[in-house]
């Protein structure tokens, strides 16, 4: 099973990693305390104090903020900067230190649209303080979503002065030029194995923005439950665990909109033809038989009419250019074991394997008819890669070598190899997440261009609302830097970023995200009393 976890294994405490890494763990670049590491950074030696009425200025920007995305992002940024302490000092005076005052942030955006487009320019430039207006910081970006990344980086520069009880920025002037290495930087959540309430999903989305992840892969339904309302086929959510563990169609739209306003795409998945037993709770005709309930009935037009209805409804709210159609772990024995389907196979001169191919390709055509490009799990490529639609993106999860074969065949690819980027493998330490390279051994530039990026997967067999965040973080952050930061700037030895990642983990905790200690695998408890920075 994809989501099967493992037992926690012992890992060296953090202070032992410092020793193992030697003095290089404290090299100058790690003093930046920014995660993920920007492409280019320079800094000075002065400090500036944020004034109490620190404000957003957009003069000179082509972006009019018609729906308030930038203003909301600015307000959220100020909110998280001020979240962990009461600001009671005089923020409008430089005092005896001679520190300069920072009165506001100028944001200049060159695009007037706020449409969230996959592959759009997410770069930004951040200067603290501006050369033209030395009492202001400045962000320049191509679009509002690049500016939101700039706001996240700005928030990490802010520091609470415990003695003066004010917010300040150290080591000014800062000059940061930044852009992502990969256009697809994903996190999968699974709401079939365990239902996740809306506030939890929103909290996950917020935490993704802190690490500059930009795709929430929503594995909505699976064998265990079907929690989503589908207006075209209203009995489908009879497969939910209970009436209170369901998402209305409007709930799904709310999640998509909440994510969009934060620069995050929502990738919806229906995993067909396997992993679909719960569909038959409302429509038993989808089952091969009462006693053999998975995969979906390949012989019935009703099966494909229903998939068409789902994707038609999806197209009204899930506006990401891709839809995920699954296609993995398909045990086709039910088809041959069911007499009427066996007869259909015989009539159409299909083997079980050929029927699997027929199902996947027919589902792909339906998705394409609704304007989607398709993502499928890698088994589809492994079994009949040459037959897949050219617009297919192959999602690697099983093993090594697949990415090279996929891209050599001209298909795009997303990397989620389970031995490194499966968050439910709670014995997997963060170092493996950091070191996992999407290009693997690919040297050809054309093949590299077909690797869209990667995704860490939070399968839900053993997580729910009570423990999802500490299972995701901080290991997902290690993968996030791999996907954002230029390859040349990445540490060859993951232990060299321990100090900076520990700081980011503490920052997540301060922002209300339950991030687990570094010294272990997933969701480990602290080994002993001590500083957040040393765990």
Is the confidence at residue 4, as pLDDT, over 50? no
pLDDT band at 28 (very low <50, low <70, confident <90, very high): low
Cβ partners under 8 Å of residue 243, min gap 6: none
pLDDT band at 94 (very low <50, low <70, confident <90, very high): low
pLDDT band at 7 (very low <50, low <70, confident <90, very high): very low
Cβ partners under 8 Å of residue 515, min gap 6: 469, 470, 473, 474, 477, 505, 508, 509
Rounded CA gap, 30 and 51, in Å?
28
Rounded CA gap, 232 and 506, in Å?
46
Is the confidence at residue 6, as pLDDT, over 80? no
Mean pLDDT of 99-126: 96
Is the confidence at residue 435, as pLDDT, over 50? yes
**Whole-prediction pTM:** 0.94
pLDDT band at 89 (very low <50, low <70, confident <90, very high): confident
Is the confidence at residue 72, as pLDDT, over 60? yes
Residue 373 among the catalytic residues: no
| Sign of the CA dihedral with 101 first, then 80, 459, and 461 last | positive
pLDDT band at 451 (very low <50, low <70, confident <90, very high): very high
Is the confidence at residue 27, as pLDDT, over 90? no
pLDDT band at 88 (very low <50, low <70, confident <90, very high): confident
Instruction: Give, in order, the Cα–Cα distances in Å from 261 to each of 123, 256, 434, 448.
Output: 17, 9, 28, 30
Rounded CA gap, 492 and 175, in Å?
25
Tens-place pLDDT, residues 247-275 = 999 999 999 999 999 999 999 999 999 99
Which residue in 329, 352, 437, 461 is the catalytic one? 329
Rounded CA gap, 250 and 229, in Å?
9
Q: Residue 91's pLDDT is what?
A: 75
Is the confidence at residue 151, as pLDDT, over 90? yes
pLDDT band at 95 (very low <50, low <70, confident <90, very high): low
Mean pLDDT of 176-185: 98
Q: Residue 18's pLDDT is what?
A: 35
SS3 of residue 106 by DSSP: strand
Tens-place pLDDT, residues 475-533 = 999 999 999 999 999 999 999 999 999 999 999 999 999 999 999 889 999 999 999 99
pLDDT band at 98 (very low <50, low <70, confident <90, very high): low
When the pLDDT of each residue in the chain is averaged and rounded to a whole number, the result is 93
Instruction: Say if residues 485 and 181 touch (Cβ distance below 8 Å).
Output: yes
Q: Residue 97's pLDDT is what?
A: 56
SS3 of residue 188 by DSSP: strand
């Amino acid at each position: 099973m994809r989501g099967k976890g493992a037992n926690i294994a012992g890992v060296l405490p953090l202070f032992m990693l410092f020793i193992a890494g030697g003095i290089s763990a404290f090299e100058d670049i790690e003093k930046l305390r920014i995660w993920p590491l920007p492409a280019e950074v320079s800094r000075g030696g002065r400090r500036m104090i944020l004034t109490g009425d620190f404000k957003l200025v957009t003069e000179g920007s082509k972006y009019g903020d018609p729906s308030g995305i930038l203003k909301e992002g600015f307000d959220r940024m100020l909110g998280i900067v001020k979240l962990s302490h009461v600001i009671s000092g005089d923020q409008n005076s430089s005092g005896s230190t001679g520190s300069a005052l920072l009165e506001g942030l100028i944001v200049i955006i060159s695009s007037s649209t706020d449409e969230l487009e996959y592959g759009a320019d997410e770069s930004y430039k951040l200067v603290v303080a501006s050369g033209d207006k030395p009492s202001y910081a400045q962000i320049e970006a191509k679009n509002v979503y690049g500016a939101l990344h700039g706001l996240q980086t700005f928030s990490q520069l802010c520091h609470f002065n415990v003695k003066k009880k004010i917010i300040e920025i150290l080591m000014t002037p800062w000059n940061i030029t930044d852009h992502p290495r990969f256009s697809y930087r994903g996190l999968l959540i699974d709401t079939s194995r365990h239902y996740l309430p809306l506030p939890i999903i929103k909290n996950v989305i917020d935490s993704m923005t802190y690490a500059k992840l930009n795709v929430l892969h929503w594995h909505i339904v699976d064998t265990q439950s079907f929690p989503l309302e589908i207006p075209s086929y209203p009995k489908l959510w009879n497969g939910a665990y209970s009436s209170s563990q369901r998402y209305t169609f409007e709930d799904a739209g709310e999640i998509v909109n909440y994510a969009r306003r934060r620069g995050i795409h929502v990738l919806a998945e229906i995993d067909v033809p396997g992993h679909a037993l719960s569909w038959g709770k409302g429509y038993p005709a989808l089952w091969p038989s009462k006693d053999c309930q998975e995969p979906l009935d390949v012989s019935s037009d009703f099966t494909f009419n229903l998939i068409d209805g789902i994707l038609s409804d999806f197209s009204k709210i899930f506006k990401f250019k891709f839809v995920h159609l699954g296609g993995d772990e398909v045990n086709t024995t039910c088809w041959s074991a069911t007499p009427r389907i066996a007869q259909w196979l015989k009539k159409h001169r299909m083997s079980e394997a050929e029927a699997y191919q027929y199902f996947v390709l027919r589902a792909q055509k339906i998705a394409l008819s609704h304007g989607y490009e398709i993502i499928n799990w890698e088994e589809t490529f492994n079994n009949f890669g040459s037959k897949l639609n050219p617009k297919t993106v192959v999602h690697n999860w099983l093993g090594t070598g697949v990415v090279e074969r996929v891209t050599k065949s001209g298909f795009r690819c997303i990397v989620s190899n389970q031995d490194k980027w499966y968050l439910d493998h709670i014995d997997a330490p963060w170092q493996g997440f950091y070191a996992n390279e999407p290009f693997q051994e690919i040297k050809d530039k054309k093949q590299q261009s077909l690797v869209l990026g990667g995704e860490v997967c939070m399968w839900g067999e053993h997580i729910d609302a009570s423990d999802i965040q500490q299972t995701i973080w901080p290991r997902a952050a290690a993968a996030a830097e791999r996907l954002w930061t230029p390859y040349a700037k990445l540490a060859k030895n993951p232990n060299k970023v321990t100090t900076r990642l520990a700081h980011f983990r503490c920052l997540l905790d301060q922002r209300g995200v339950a991030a687990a200690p570094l010294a272990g695998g997933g969701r480990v408890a602290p080994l002993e009393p001590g500083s957040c920075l040393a765990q």
